[in-house]
Amino acid sequence: MSDQDKKKLFERLPLTVVPTHYDLTIQPFLDTFKFNGNVTIHLKVNQPTDTVILYAVELQIDHAKITLDSKDELSGTIEMDKENERVKISFNRQLEKGDCELSLKFIGDINDRMQGFYRNKYTTPDGKEVRYGASTQFEPADCRRAFPCWDEPNFKATFDITLITPKNLRAISNMPIKSENEYPDDKEWKITKFDRTPIMSTYLVAYVVGEYDYVETKDSNGVSMKVYTPVGRKEHGHFALDIASKVLPFYAEYFNIKYPIAKADQIAISDFAMGAMENWGLVTYRETALLIDPKFSSMDSRQRVAIVVAHELAHQWFGNLVTMDWWTDLWLNEGFASWIEYLAVDKCYPEFDIWTQFVADTFARFLVPDALKSSHPIEVPIGHPAEIDEIFDDISYSKGSSVIRMLHDYIGDDAFRKGLHNYLKEYSYKNTITVNLWSHLSKASNKPVNEVMSSWTLQMGYPLVTVVEEQQSNQTRIVKLQQERFIADGSADDENLQWKIPITIFTKSNPKVIAKQILMDQPEITITLDNISENDWIKLNYNSIGLYRVKYSSKELAHLNEPIANKTLSPQDRLMIQDDVAALCNAGHQSFVDYLKLLLSYKDEDNFTVWKSIASRIADLSSLMEYTDYFDQFKKYRLNLFSTIQKELGWDAKENENPLVAMLRPMVLSIMGKSGDQAIIDEAKKRFQCHINGDLIDPNIRGAVYVIVSRYGDENTQEEIRKLYKAADMTEEKVRLLRSMGQSLNPNIIKNTLQFIFESDNVRMQDSASGLVGCTSSCIGRDIVWKFLQEKWMKLVERFGEKSSFLISFVEYCLSDFADEKKANEIKLFFDSVNTPVVTRAVKQVIETIHMRVKVIQRDSKAIQEYLTQL
C-alpha cells in the first residue's frame, strides 16, 4: 500500500463510545517477560451501537465483557485488526445511550524495543549480575501495546492504576501510592494501588517496576519530589533534584497555575529510546539526561540535564494539563517546551548564558533543514499514526521554539504571560489547537497574533531579507529590503512564499538601541535611517530574534567586521552573521572565500557560544574540504583560526572559571587535535597514558582527549578505549568513549567499532547512534558506515522497529556529509528498494543536501584553494 493510500484509509476512532475512566491492573513477570493485564474502562455510549472499537496491538485479549448494571452483563466477540492496531468488540445486543463498563483481560510481552511496556537491563552495583526491570514509553502511540485503550490524545480520562509485583521491587506510577498490601495468592508478591490520576491522555500514563534508590525533597509549594537512580548511586540524583525543585515552582508562578499532583517524580531508566518523557507525575529519562556524578560529570552534561529537566517539567502544564487535540499540533507541545526550558534555566543558572546558546543550538539549527525544498510546515497534517514519529524533528522543536521566542518578543512578556495563563485556564484538562493559543495572546496583547503567526506556522521555510542600499546623503541613508524564501542551494522559490516579518534595524551610532522596528508585510519595503555617517555599519535583526537570514551587500558586510572584532555586537548577533554568510555561500549567493575571510574578524573572539557556532559551520565545511586535495591546507587555516583562543585556555581549568570556559576548552582542543597540531596530539597521548594508569583526566576535557588519541592511535589504543568502556559504570563516560572509537582513520578499527556497537552485547541499543556518529567523522568512515547500513538495513529495521526514530537518525547523521552525485543516486536507489516509510523525508533531505554540497565544490573549490595557497 502506498503512503498516500494509507493516509486516505486512516480514520480516527469514532465518537460513538468514549472512555471516562480506566481501572487498570498489571502484573509483570520479569523472568518470562510476559505480563497479565486487566482493565475496566468506564464508557459513555453516545449513540446506540453493538460494536466498540479501540486500540490494541501485540496484545492477546482473552476476554471482553460489558457490564450494564450489576445484573446485566454482555460477553463480546473479539476481532483484532493488526494493520490498524485496533480491536473490534461485537455484542449480540445493542448498547443503549448512557454509561457502561467494558472489562478486558489480556496478556502481553515485556518487549525489548523501548516502546510500550518494555524491559530495562541493568547490573547489580558490584557489576556481577544482570537483572531486569520494566518501564513504559507510550508517546506518541504505544499505550495500545500495553493495554487496550482509546489511544488518541483527545480521549482524556482518569486512571486508577494497580501494579502486582515481586515484593523486593519498587512499583512506581504517575500518582502517589494509595495502598500497598501483600498479594493473597503469593506472599512473595505485593499489590500497589495508586491514587486516581487527573483527567489526562493515554500517552502520559506511566509505570515502572525495578530496583531503585532515590533522593527526595519538597518544593516551595510543598510538592513532594523524588529522583530515582540506579541502586548505589543516589547521590547522582541531587543535581537534577535541585533543578527540578527550583523549576517546578518557577513554572507554577509563571503560568500562575498550581501543579495539580501531590508529587513530581523523575526516574533514570537504563534503556530509553529518547532523551526524556514527560509522563504526568513520573518523568522518565535516559540516564545521561538525569544523572550527574558530582565528581566525574562534565559541565556539558550538567547543562544538558538542566535543560532536559526544565523541558519535561514545562510539559506538566503545557502538554499534560492542556494537550494538543491531534498530532498535527504536536509542535505546540514541543516548540513551547523547547522555548520555556531556556527561560527556566536562565532563571536558575544565569551563568550558562543560555539564551545566547539558544541562538546557536536551536535557532541556527532549524534554519538548515527548513531551507530545503523537502521541508514541511510547523503544522503538518498527520493522518496515519505511522507519520507521527517523523515529526518529532527540528521543525517542531527548533523552529517551533524560535517562533515562540519571536512572538514573545513581539508582544512582550506581560501580555504573553497573561494570554498564556488565560489559555491554560480555559483548556485545563482539555485539548486544544494552535489558533486557540493565538487568540488568547491576541486578546492579551491587542496585536494581530494569528495573522502574523500563521505565515510562520502554516507554510514551510523562512525568508531571506536582502538589504539594498538606495541612497545616501548627509546623515541619512535609505535602504530597500526585499524578502523571498531562502532555499539552501540558492534556487528561486517557485511558490513565491511571503511572510510577515518583524524587522529590527540598529546602527553604529547607537549599537544597543533598535533604531527602526517595522512589520514587513510586503515583498519589498523602504526604510530611512537618520543619524548615520557614510561608513557606519547597519545591522538587521537585533539579537537574532526574527526568523530570517540577512544578505548584505559586500560593502555593508565589510562594515560589520569592526563591531564583530571589537565585540560591540552581542554574541547572538556575532554568531549569526557568520552563520548567515556560510548559508549564503552554500547557496551560491557568495563565495566561500568571503566566509573564510570574514572568520578572520573572529580571531580574538572569546565567547563560548560564538565559537560553538563557528565550530559547527567549520565542521560542515571541513567535511566538504575532505573531498578535495587541499584538505591539509584547509586544516592549517582551521588551526590558525582557533590558535589564539587555544593558547588562552590551555589544558587545565583555572580556579573559579566560568562554566562556559569549561565547555569551550574541549571543543577547541579537539578541533586543534583533529587539525593536526602535533603538540596537542602529543599532550593528549601523554594524558591518556596517565589516565589509564589511574591519574584521571578532568572530565571536561576527557571527551576531547579520547577523540584525539582514537584518531591518531593504533589498535592498542583502541583496545584501551574498549577496556575503559567496559569498566565504566557511568553512562555518560561510556558514551564519551563510544563516540571516540570510530573516529580512528584506520578502516579496520572503524569496521571493528561497528561490530562492537551492533554485534556484541557491549553497547545498548539506545547508545548505538552515538557510536555510529563517531564512525562517520571521516570520509573513510562514512563509506564504511554506508556500506554497513546497506548490508544490515533490514536487520536494523527489525531490531529497532519499523517506525523507530533511530532509523531516521541513522540516515540523517550518517549520509548527509557525502559530496558526490553517485552517492546521492545510490542512496536514492537503495531506499526506494527497501521501502521504510519512516525515513522517507530524511532520505529526501539527505539527497537534497548532497546535491547542494556537490554544487558548492563545483562553484567554489578553485577559489578556496587559491585563497588558502596565498595565505
The annotation places the binding site for Zn(2+) at 311, 315, 334
Q: Find the binding residues for ligand BES in span 384-413 (CB under 6 A).
A: 392
Contact between 635 and ligand BES by CB under 6 A: the answer reads: no
Q: Looking at 234, 315, 365, 736, which residue binds ligand BES (CB under 6 A)?
A: 315
Residue from 278, 312, 379, 556 carrying the catalytic annotation: 312
Q: Which three cell numbers stand for residue 289?
A: 539526561
Least CB distance from residue 116 to ligand BES, whole Å?
12
Residue closer to ligand BES (CB basis): 114 or 763: 114
Taking the C-alpha atoms of residue 645 and residue 660, their distance in angstroms, rounded to an integer, is 13
Contact between 556 and ligand BES by CB under 6 A: the answer reads: no
Residue closer to ligand BES (CB basis): 278 or 579: 278
Q: Find the binding residues for ligand BES in span 266-285 (CB under 6 A).
A: 274-278
Taking residue 88's Cβ as centre, other Cβ atoms within 10 Å add up to 15
Q: Is 93 exposed, middle or buried (0-12, 13-18, 19+ CB in 10 A)?
A: exposed
Q: Looking at 59, 164, 268, 307, which residue binds ligand BES (CB under 6 A)?
A: 307
| Amino acid letter, residue 851 | H
Taking the C-alpha atoms of residue 272 and residue 282, their distance in angstroms, rounded to an integer, is 14
The answer to whether the beta carbons of residues 36 and 63 sit under 8 Å apart is: no
188 belongs to the catalytic site:
no
Q: Which residues are within 8 A (CB) of 546 and not within 5 positions of it... i.e. 6 or more apart?
A: 406, 501, 502, 503, 504, 540
Q: Find the binding residues for ligand BES in span 676-705 (CB under 6 A).
A: none
Secondary structure (DSSP) of 202-258: GGG--EEEE--EEEEEE-TT--EEEEEESTT-GGGGHHHHHHHHHHHHHHHHHHT--
Contact range with ligand BES by CB under 6 A, out of 152-160, 309-317, 515-523, 747-755:
309-317
Q: Which does 307 bind (CB under 5 to 8 A by kind): ligand BES, Zn ion, none?
A: ligand BES
Residue closer to ligand BES (CB basis): 681 or 838: 838
Q: Angle 833-835-837 (CA atoms, 0-180°, nearest 5)? A: 150
Binding footprint of ligand BES, residue count (CB under 6 A)? 15
Residue closer to ligand BES (CB basis): 315 or 617: 315
Residue closer to ligand BES (CB basis): 195 or 389: 389
Q: Angle 503-509-512 (CA atoms, 0-180°, nearest 5)? A: 60
Contact between 161 and Zn ion by CB under 5 A: the answer reads: no
The answer to whether the beta carbons of residues 200 and 134 sit under 8 Å apart is: no
Q: How many residues does the chain have?
A: 871
Least CB distance from residue 388 to ligand BES, whole Å?
8
Q: Which residue has the cell 583562543?
A: 645
Contact range with ligand BES by CB under 6 A, out of 67-75, 304-312, 475-483, 692-700:
304-312
The answer to whether the beta carbons of residues 614 and 516 sit under 8 Å apart is: no
Q: Which residues are within 8 A (CB) of 632 and not within 5 positions of it... i.e. 6 or more apart?
A: 676
Q: Which does 140 bind (CB under 5 to 8 A by kind): ligand BES, Zn ion, none?
A: ligand BES
Contact between 337 and Zn ion by CB under 5 A: the answer reads: yes
The answer to whether the beta carbons of residues 87 and 52 sit under 8 Å apart is: no
Q: Which residues are within 8 A (CB) of 695 and not within 5 positions of it... i.e. 6 or more apart?
A: none
Among candidates 267, 334, 347, 364, which has minimal Cα distance to 306? 347
The answer to whether the beta carbons of residues 625 and 857 sit under 8 Å apart is: no
Contact between 311 and ligand BES by CB under 6 A: the answer reads: yes
Q: Tell me the C-alpha to C-alpha distance, in Å, between residue 542 and each of 57, 397, 462.
A: 51, 22, 17
Least CB distance from residue 753 to ligand BES, whole Å?
24
Residue closer to ligand BES (CB basis): 392 or 438: 392
Q: Which does 207 bind (CB under 5 to 8 A by kind): Zn ion, ligand BES, none?
A: none
- Report the chain's C-alpha Rg in angstroms: 28
Least CB distance from residue 713 to Zn ion, whole Å?
39
Q: Which three cell numbers stand for residue 870?
A: 596565498
Residue closer to Zn ion (CB basis): 276 or 520: 276
Q: Which does 545 bind (CB under 5 to 8 A by kind): ligand BES, Zn ion, none?
A: none
Residue closer to ligand BES (CB basis): 551 or 841: 841
Interhelix angle 715-727/699-712, nearest 10 degrees? 150
One character per residue 326-365, x = contact with ligand BES (rule: CB under 6 A): --------x---x---------------------------
Least CB distance from residue 144 to ligand BES, whole Å?
14
Contact between 140 and ligand BES by CB under 6 A: the answer reads: yes
Binding site as annotated, residues: 311, 315, 334
The H-or-E segment that residue 339 falls in is helix 330-348
Q: Which does 276 bind (CB under 5 to 8 A by kind): ligand BES, Zn ion, none?
A: ligand BES
The H-or-E segment that residue 617 falls in is helix 608-625
One character per residue 598-627, x = contact with ligand BES (rule: CB under 6 A): ------------------------------
Q: Which residue has the cell 546557536?
A: 360
Least CB distance from residue 404 to Zn ion, whole Å?
13
Among candidates 392, 418, 261, which has minimal Cα distance to 324? 392
Q: Looking at 219, 265, 334, 580, which residue binds Zn ion (CB under 5 A)?
A: 334
Binding site for Zn ion (CB under 5 A): 334, 337
Where on the chain is the footprint of ligand BES (CB under 6 A)? 139-140, 274-278, 307-308, 311-312, 315, 334, 338, 392
The residues that are catalytic are 312
